[in-house]
């Protein structure tokens, strides 16, 4: 026990419950300072995107209030964490620093250097697993290699012995009583104002720990049972909508697993939904496993034969895709959902990504960058792994010849057109049989629905059959595909 304060450096773990770094700090009985550093320097091009900044603002605001209620303060500082943290240590004479680990290459390098420096200065420095069920070095093949294929990865991951029960939420925090300056959250200007393009986010999301726990409860109560089927229907909320909460660490996967297991215990009929749902949590773990073992995943093709792929440079088509003006309703609805609500249904993400890569032959990295800026749940591991999965360039990727047909995908997973009607109001009055293919509607039907192709809504910017053939030809130029 010592009077020198302990710093808990919060990063992608913006919660008080099940927080191993916070718990360890509390156990030292030292006075506590909770710190968040807005570090736009270290991540380079992967600094937080616009939508993520909106979420972060709300999340920090909720966390700050929760911390204060318990008798401590959340200190906000801006700058390179490699400087900000040691400066704060000096300022308050801290004796210990605790954090939960991140797995991006820039974060690993930064944290390693900080750990060495602060330890050499005589501080107690400890890091923990607060973000994953299993860290990437825990789940390995029999020969000690990282897994490259999801199914055996997840089979092995489920058998790993370490099963930490979630840690309780502290009722009180022994806050450091000395003077310590904090920047004002409002001064960070994380939320857009002119124009406020995030207005549509307010109705849909409740960032913060309380919002995360409420979303989990709602999911278990109303959606878990039918999750295996409902997760694919784009016009309904059939999934947990937890991804941004998980990314910012407002809830931990250990808490999610514990809640799901307790629900199954009370209602065994939920088992089927729970298995499917936990498999998706498994994809999150697998993606982090890939990012950790292949740190260039966000920038470089995992399969290097894709380095020779004949991508097209087509700024006009890229702009049409981003704005939801491709003339394919399911793609456009997806891209408008993203812009207006900060998220996109998982199936819609696959269809929209496939369209960019395969119908337009535009490099997946352009799509990845757009998603990074516009998704509230933008996550370096999940985003990069998913884009490479769709492109076919990734580990355990979708085969190159799997080209999502935007018409039949729409008709299958948005059969009544609810999703298209919600996000493309200009097509709302089209009948179901042409809502996913307005160019096939006769003139009278279009007129009655108030649709004029290339005036109120674009005609398709590429022909599906021709684009498919062009994509297959381009993929055939790669050595050893498939
Ligand atoms: C091109 C593309 C880009 C994507 N980018 C991201 C991203 O930046 N951040 C992100 O969190 N997810 C990303 N995903 C995965 C997935 O679409 C979202 O996690 C999911 O739609 C979030 O909704 P949910 O929380 O309701 O998911 P649920 O179906 O309720 O799933 C539960 C949780 O499992 C995880 N998960 C689900 N699917 C995947 C997946 N395919 N890969 C990794 N984890 C998954 C998420 O943490 C999610 O919250 C991307 C998918 C594609 C095809």
The answer to whether the CB of 432 is under 6 A from ligand 1 is no
Q: What is the C-alpha to C-alpha distance for residues 376 and 50, in angstroms, rounded to an integer?
A: 8
Cα-to-centroid distance, 343 and ligand 1 (Å):
10
CB neighbours of 406 closer than 8 A, spacing ≥ 6?
328, 330, 331, 351, 355, 359, 436, 464
- Are 455 and 360 members of one domain? yes
52 and 64 together in one domain: yes
Active site residues: 280, 283, 311, 346, 364, 387
Residues 376 and 467 both lie in one domain: yes
- Give the pLDDT score at 398: 77
81 pLDDT more than 60: yes
In a domain, 436, yes or no: yes
Asked whether residue 69 carries a pLDDT value surpassing 50, the answer given is yes
Mutation pick for ligand 1 pocket among 284, 376, 385, 391 (CB with most ligand atoms within 8 Å): 284
315 and 419 fall within a common domain: yes
Domain count, the chain: 3
Ligand 1 touching residue 419 (CB < 6 A): no
Tens of pLDDT along 168-212? 999 999 999 999 999 999 999 999 877 788 888 988 899 999 999
Pair 276, 352 in one domain: no
Rounded to whole angstroms, the Cα distance separating 139 from 155 reads 10
Look at residue 1 in the predicted model and tell me its pLDDT: 57
The atom of ligand 1 lying closest to the CA of 375 is 8
pLDDT surpasses 50 at 78: yes
pLDDT at 431 over 90: yes
Tell me if 5 sits within 8 A of 92, measured CB to CB. Answer: yes
Protein residue with its CA nearest to atom 26 in ligand 1: 241
Residues of the domain holding 118: 6-130
Residue 127 DSSP SS3 = strand
Q: Check pocket membership of 375 for ligand 1, CB cut-off 6 A.
A: yes
* Confidence (pLDDT) at 445: 98
Give the mean model confidence (pLDDT) for residues 139-168.
92
Distances, alpha carbon 180 to alpha carbons 93, 127, 183, 240, 338, in Å? 11, 23, 10, 39, 40
Least confident of 285-294, 345-354, 470-479: 470-479
Q: How far is CA 373 from the centre of its chain?
A: 11
Distance 464 CA to ligand 1 centre (A): 27
Q: For residue 150, how far is its CA from the centre of ligand 1 (angstroms)?
A: 15
Could you tell me the distance, in angstroms and rounded to a whole number, from the CA of residue 83 to the centre of ligand 1?
33
144 and 115 housed in the same domain:
no
Ligand 1 pocket residue status of 347, Cβ below 6 Å? no
Asked whether residue 31 is domain-assigned, the answer is: yes
187 assigned to some structural domain: no
Q: Are 341 and 453 in a shared domain?
A: yes
261 with 314, same domain?
no
Whether 284 and 350 share a structural domain: no
10 and 96 in a single domain? The answer is: yes
pLDDT at 481 over 80: no
Domain boundary among 242, 269, 293: 293
Query: 156 and 96, same structural domain?
Result: no
Residues 148 and 74 in one domain: no
pTM confidence score: 0.98
| 341 Cβ closer than 6 Å to some ligand 1 atom | no
Residue at which a domain ends, from 244, 274, 293: 293
Give residue 142 CA to ligand 1 midpoint distance, Å. 29
Are 298 and 368 in contact, with CB atoms under 8 Å apart?
A: yes
Report the CATH number at residue 407.
Answer: 1.10.579.10
Q: Is pLDDT above 60 for 482?
A: no
How much is the average pLDDT of 374-396? Answer: 96
Among 250, 386, 395, residue to substitute to test ligand 1 (most atoms within 8 Å of Cβ):
386
Any atom of ligand 1 within 6 Å of the Cβ of 371: yes
Q: Does residue 29 lie within any of the structural domains?
A: yes
Task: Give, in order, the Cα–Cα distances in Å from 452 to each of 435, 455, 456.
Answer: 14, 5, 5
């Amino acid at each position: 026990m010592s009077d020198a304060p302990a710093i808990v450096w919060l990063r992608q773990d913006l919660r008080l419950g099940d927080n191993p770094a916070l718990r360890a700090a509390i156990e030292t009985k030292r006075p506590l300072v909770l710190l968040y550093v807005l570090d736009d320097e270290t991540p380079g091009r992967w600094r937080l995107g616009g939508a993520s900044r909106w979420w972060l603002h709300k999340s920090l605001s909720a966390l700050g209030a929760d911390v204060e209620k318990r008798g401590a303060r959340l200190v906000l500082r801006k700058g390179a964490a490699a400087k900000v943290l040691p400066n704060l240590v000096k300022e308050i004479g801290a004796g210990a620093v605790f954090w939960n680990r991140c797995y991006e290459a820039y974060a690993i390098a930064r944290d390693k250097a900080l750990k060495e420096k602060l330890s050499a200065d005589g501080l107690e420095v400890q890091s923990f697993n607060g973000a994953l069920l299993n860290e990437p070095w825990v789940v390995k093949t029999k020969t000690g290699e990282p897994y490259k294929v999801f199914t055996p990865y997840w089979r092995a991951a489920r058998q790993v012995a370490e099963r930490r029960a979630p840690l309780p939420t502290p009722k009180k925090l022994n806050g450091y009583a000395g003077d310590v300056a904090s920047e004002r959250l409002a001064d960070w200007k994380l939320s857009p104002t002119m124009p406020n393009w995030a207005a549509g986010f307010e109705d849909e999301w409740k960032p913060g720990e309380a919002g995360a726990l409420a979303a989990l409860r709602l999911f278990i109560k109303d959606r878990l049972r039918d999750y295996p089927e409902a997760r694919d229907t784009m016009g309904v909320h059939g999934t947990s909508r937890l991804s941004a909460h998980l990314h910012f660490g407002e809830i931990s996967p250990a808490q999610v697993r514990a809640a799901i297991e307790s629900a199954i215990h009370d209602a065994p009929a939920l088992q089927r939904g729970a298995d499917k749902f936990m498999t998706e949590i498994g994809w999150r773990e697998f993606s982090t496993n890939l990012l950790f073992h292949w740190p260039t995943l966000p920038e470089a093709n995992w399969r290097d034969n894709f380095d020779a792929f004949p991508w097209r440079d087509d700024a006009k088509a890229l702009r049409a895709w981003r704005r939801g003006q491709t003339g394919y309703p399911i793609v456009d609805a997806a891209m408008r959902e993203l812009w207006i609500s900060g998220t996109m249904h998982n199936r819609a993400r696959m269809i929209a990504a496939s369209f960019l890569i395969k119908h337009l032959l535009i490099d997946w990295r352009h799509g990845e960058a757009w998603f990074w800026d516009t998704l509230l749940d933008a996550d370096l591991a999940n985003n990069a792994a998913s884009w490479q999965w769709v492109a076919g360039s990734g580990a355990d990727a979708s085969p190159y010849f799997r080209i999502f047909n935007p018409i039949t995908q729409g008709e299958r997973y948005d059969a009544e057109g609810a999703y298209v009607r919600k996000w493309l109001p200009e097509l709302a009055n089209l009948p179901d049989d042409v809502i996913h293919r307005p160019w096939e509607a006769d003139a009278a039907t279009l007129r009655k629905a108030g649709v004029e192709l290339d005036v109120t809504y674009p005609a398709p910017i590429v022909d599906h059959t021709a684009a498919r053939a062009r994509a297959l030809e381009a993929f055939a130029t790669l050595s050893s595909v498939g």
